[in-house]
Structure 1
Amino acid sequence: MLLPSSPSLLMPPGMGFTWLISSCLFFFSLLEFLLPSFISQRRPHRTQATWKAFARALNLFALGILLQGGYFHGVTSLTFGVDIQRIRWLGILQRISIGYIVAALCEIWLPAPRWKELGFVKSYYWQWFVAVILLALYSGLLYGLYVPDWQFDVSASTSSLPPIGGGDIYMVNCSVRGDLGPACNSAGMIDRYILGLDHLYRKPVYRNLKGCNMSAKGQVSDSSPSWCHAPFDPEGILSSITAAVSCIIGLQYGHVLAHLQDHKGRLYNWMCFSLSFLALGLFLALIGIPLNKSLYTVSYMLLTSAASGLTFIALYFLVDVHVTGV
């Protein structure tokens, strides 16, 4: 997350603008912690600001489709081109655009009392309320949806692997509810119904599991379970909900930066946020909500948000406090 060291670069003197800073930070690696932060203005005309936010989100979404949708497949062969029937609709840039527009709409339209009187949490309680609603929706869909048995046709899917036993159809037996495994989770079912199997990620990380018997050449053994051959999108519809919540959390860090001018106050509030998310994420992991990157579970979202906040605190202290000494 790269932010100007001088507060005047964020809030120009004489301009009554509140700046939206949403940190879309998703994964454990430092590179993924430092995904782009979006800084936009909350202008007096909310409708105009909304249109501009949607324009930015659509531009980023379109860029994601261009870069990750399959436009550059077959560069060294005669298959080069765009295959609309198998284009990947969701990817990391599309997820960032979804999180950005959710955080932007919260900042533009939800009322916020004076933070000096109530503090940051109470002042932006409507934004926290939206985050809680999104987490409840995610949990309800993840654990409440019934996943029936499903099948897919290898010859019509994105997989180029030979079918098991000479057949064309893979059958996956589920008939469960609340399963978080790679075969029968509701996140995959939602993506298959809405996006279509051919528009999902072709090489999911699930194939690296021991049960799939992945060869050194990246081929899945014929004796592997049927779900090992199926596409799965880790940046799917359901996991984008919790990713949007992480952007709302990043927005709260931006509020601290915009409203407080002293380093001590900023570091104190950021540390309170980060340690709270860390404790809650560890608690959820201990009671049985696993850290699952592909499903972007609530515990995973809280722990990565905490790690992102602590990383940002360290960088802010080194650059703005220690080096500049301002």
Structure 2
Amino acid sequence: MKDRILAVDIFRGMTIVLMILVNNPGTWANVYGPFLHADWHGYTPTDLVFPFFLFIVGTSIVFSYTSKEVTLLTYKKISVRSLKLIGLGLFLGAFTFSFPFFKDFSEIRFPGVLQRIGVVFFVTAILFVNLNWKKLIATAVVILIGYWIAMAFIPVQGLASTFDRAPNNLANYVDLNVLGSHMWKNDYDPEGILSTIPAIASCMLGIFTGLILLSKQQKKTTLLIGLGGSYLIIGHLWDIFFPINKALWTSSFVLVTAGWANLFLALIYYITDIKKIQFGSLFRYAGANAITVFFLSSFIAKTFGLIKVNSECTSLHAWLFNTIYVHDFMSMQLSSLLYAVTVMSFYLWVAYYLYKRQIFIKV
């Protein structure tokens, strides 16, 4: 698309930068408050980050596949991109720094952030190139209501279903019985099998925003604000019956996060594309190589955690943090935050370097 919508690029970049900031504290024992996830129900600013990225994936699907003839090559490109994302995620999950460089099969975690992005992108893109907007809306509604019905009313092992972190939680039950030891924790996985279905709806809601942005409507900002506000109201009302929960990716969570995504995107769109105010160039650079920068940050962070620098088996990450950032005159939370900001700044520089040299690595 020749006439790119700057707000989308900036929003994507901001989301990736926040993902890096959240994922790289100096120590997980002292994370700066706003960068913590909710314990279970409810949400914090950090809980918005991943659904924001899936939302913008949906918006980008509209820009990529609108007005293009759908052929076998289209399906091939969608499939290959999805498999690349899943493969990168599995690589991160299996990688170790010492020989033989990969974990034993029984220790590998199958789900993950990149794996979910790959699956969600594949399903959403296939739906978009085959359905009109009315059928897409109907599909999203069916997913959200169907997931609620399944989670609320299907009994598990003879017990009434629950939304708590318990054996008779349907999403947890499915993950335990299908994934077994290949999970993040032994009682739930935040990127589990069943909860990936409503994550598809998060991406689909981004499609509807993309359609608005590409339309000839004059008051796009107003439409985005109205849509976002509606999602927020419905999501918070639904929270009474189906609690907002990131780990379970509940239907109320889908709506509330999409609501905030629309409001933030509307604000950025008004500033950059309506008022033509120069804003967020650094984020635009990060958005241009979003997956590349995210993968690199994850790979290096994992490597720093695996490299041991002394006889006490202190990791390179811990050594750097304790040597440079831990001081008596500041709290551990502030030290942890400063480490995360340093890491984030480095990857912003990487993104800037790639952008200025017109290096765009497509996954």
**Contact 2:243 2:252 (C-alpha < 8 Å) held by counterparts:** yes
Give the distance between the partners of 2:250 and 2:90, measured in 1 at CA.
Answer: 25
**Which of residues 94, 99, 102 is equivalent to 1:70?**
94
Structure 1 residue 59: deviation in Å?
A: 1.0
Structure 1 residue 296: deviation in Å?
A: 1.0
Give the distance between the partners of 1:315 and 1:125, measured in 2 at CA.
Answer: 27
Show the counterpart of 1:116.
Answer: none
Distance 1:97 1:80, change over 3 A: closer
- Pair 1:9-2:4 in alignment: yes
**Which of residues 203, 214, 220 is equivalent to 1:266?**
220
Give the distance between the partners of 1:277 and 1:190, measured in 2 at CA.
Answer: 28
**Which of residues 164, 182, 196 is equivalent to 1:199?**
182
Query: For 1:92-241, what aligned pairs fall within 5 Å after superposition?
Result: 92-110=113-131, 112=132, 124-148=133-157, 175-184=158-167, 185-195=169-179, 197-202=180-185, 230-241=186-197
Structure 1 residue 31: deviation in Å?
A: 4.5
Residue identity in the other structure for 1:194? V
**Contact 2:110 2:183 (C-alpha < 8 Å) held by counterparts:** yes
**Contact 1:71 1:83 (C-alpha < 8 Å) held by counterparts:** no
**Which of residues 105, 123, 126 is equivalent to 1:84?**
105
Residue identity in the other structure for 1:9? R
Give the distance between the partners of 2:113 and 2:154, measured in 1 at CA.
Answer: 25
Residue identity in the other structure for 1:274? G
Give the distance between the partners of 1:81 and 1:101, measured in 2 at CA.
Answer: 27
- Pair 1:277-2:272 in alignment: no
- Pair 1:291-2:244 in alignment: yes
Structure 1 residue 141: deviation in Å?
A: 2.5
Greater radius of gyration (CA): 1
**Which of residues 251, 254, 257 is equivalent to 1:301?**
254
Show the counterpart of 1:51.
Answer: 76
Show the counterpart of 2:198.
Answer: 242
**Contact 1:257 1:266 (C-alpha < 8 Å) held by counterparts:** yes
Measured on the aligned residues, the alpha-carbon RMSD in Å equals 2.6
Distance 1:284 1:232, change over 3 A: same
**Contact 1:144 1:177 (C-alpha < 8 Å) held by counterparts:** yes
Question: Which of structure 1's runs of 4+ aligned residues deviate more than 4 A?
Answer: 77-80
In structure 2, list runs of 5 or more residues that go unmatched: 6-11, 20-42, 279-363
Higher relative contact order structure (alpha carbons within 8 Å, sequence separation ≥ 6) = 2
Show the counterpart of 1:316.
Answer: 269
**Secondary structure in 1 matching 2:65:** strand
Structure 1 residue 144: deviation in Å?
A: 2.8
Q: Which one has a larger percent helix, Structure 1 or Structure 2?
A: 2
Residue identity in the other structure for 1:243? A
**Contact 2:51 2:254 (C-alpha < 8 Å) held by counterparts:** no
Give the distance between the partners of 2:188 and 2:197, measured in 1 at CA.
Answer: 17
Distance 1:33 1:145, change over 3 A: closer
- TM-score, L = length of structure 2: 0.59
After superposition, the C-alpha distances for 1:221-262 in whole angstroms (9 at most, x for unaligned) are xxxxxxxxx3421110111111100100000111111123x6
Show the counterpart of 1:257.
Answer: 213
Give the distance between the partners of 2:153 and 2:208, measured in 1 at CA.
Answer: 30
Residue identity in the other structure for 1:107? F
After superposition, the C-alpha distances for 1:66-118 in whole angstroms (9 at most, x for unaligned) are 12x2323xx3x6785322122111111111222212221121111x3xxxxxx
After superposition, the C-alpha distances for 1:129-173 in whole angstroms (9 at most, x for unaligned) are 11122223312321233222xxxxxxxxxxxxxxxxxxxxxxxxx
In structure 1, list runs of 5 or more residues that go unmatched: 11-22, 113-123, 149-174, 203-229
Give the distance between the partners of 1:304 and 1:31, measured in 2 at CA.
Answer: 9
**Secondary structure in 1 matching 2:123:** helix
Give the distance between the partners of 1:45 and 1:290, measured in 2 at CA.
Answer: 39
- TM-score, L = length of structure 1: 0.65
**Secondary structure in 2 matching 1:48:** helix
Structure 1 residue 177: deviation in Å?
A: 2.1
Residue identity in the other structure for 1:183? A
Give the distance between the partners of 1:9 and 1:305, measured in 2 at CA.
Answer: 22
Show the counterpart of 1:17.
Answer: none
**Contact 2:148 2:242 (C-alpha < 8 Å) held by counterparts:** no
Give the distance between the partners of 1:254 and 1:306, measured in 2 at CA.
Answer: 14
Structure 1 residue 272: deviation in Å?
A: 2.0
Residue identity in the other structure for 2:120? G
Give the distance between the partners of 1:45 and 1:231, measured in 2 at CA.
Answer: 42
